[in-house]
A and B are shown apart, each in its own frame.
Chain A
């Protein structure tokens, strides 16, 4: 079972109109409200952030998402 968290609708709406990195996924940098930046993270179906095995994150912690360049 993948460890993943469903994003807030505003982020899903944003991502679903941005280009993919490959079939079914995007690679993005995630800025959290505490200033932490999660770099090159995988987002599935523009709606699920794939987390590391032991990672815990709630969608409300996310401030900003942008595609990784």
Chain B
């Protein structure tokens, strides 16, 4: 079902963080019910119950338009104090109401994964970033200061898009775990280093769409430059 949020619930939703740009995934008890249900709220005012009909209902909004559906929907009566934000990972498939929303994060809809694209040489000036939940990322050889064989990174440009557009790196890079990304490792490959560029494919119930660069042979010595906290 698609609902309109009561003003009090909109106020509550506006007081808690977004799950992604323009939407929130949350659970709450309907009034008079002890059963918790899951919902997705758009713009903190239009709410779809996250059930087996979610994809169909989302499609209805896309087809008829946000305002039209909002006007014709009934109010959802929730126990406001039970509203609780949920992890993005509980939802399978796309949340976004339009491709334009997805593109607003600077994600890419088309393209092959890095391993399916031809090899090319690094420019010698382009910086690549490796994101990790772990400070001791084992794909970095800290002695020789290089990337080990068979390692993935993203580009500096895509990393900036992820940061400045407040995108979710776990969804953008389709990572299999929900551990918070804490670290960014900056790599400046030499022009003799080979890589394959591509688009992160959907996986683990995440959308992907970020840029990935795969270094089958790793990078030359002294190409790892600095480790920073994510976003710093």
Contact = CB atoms under 8 A, between A and B. Distances in A.
A27 to B, nearest CB: 8
Interface stretch (A16-24, A29-37, A54-62): A16-24
A45 B132 contact: yes
A12 interface: yes
Given A24-B132, A24-B137, A42 B176 contact: yes
A42 B137 CA distance: 16
Report the interface size class on chain B.
20 to 34
Chain B contact surface mostly: loop
Contacts of B24: none
Given A16-B139, A23-B130, A24-B132, A42 B177 contact: yes
A15 B148 CA distance: 11
Nearest to A46: B138
B131 A17 contact: no
Contact of B175 (A17, A19, A25): A25
Interface string B117-138: 0000000000000111110111
A20 B177 contact: no
B197 interface: no
A21 to B, nearest CB: 8
Interface residues of A, number: 19
Contacts of A12: 138
A66 B136 CA distance: 22
A18 to B, nearest CB: 6
B223 interface: no
B219 interface: no
A20 B151 CA distance: 6
Given A16-B138, A42-B177, A24 B150 contact: no
A4 B133 CA distance: 14
A45 B175 contact: no
Contact of A18 (B150, B174, B178): B150
Give the top 10 A-B pairs by smallest Cβ distance, nearest first.
A19-B150, A23-B152, A16-B138, A46-B138, A45-B134, A42-B176, A25-B176, A20-B152, A24-B132, A45-B138
Interface of A: 2, 4, 12, 15-20, 22-25, 42, 44-47, 50
27 contacts: A2-B178, A12-B138, A15-B138, A16-B138, A17-B149, A18-B150, A20-B139, A20-B152, A22-B173, A22-B174, A22-B200, A23-B132, A23-B154, A23-B212, A24-B134, A24-B137, A24-B139, A24-B152, A24-B175, A25-B177, A42-B177, A44-B133, A45-B134, A45-B136, A45-B137, A45-B138, A46-B138
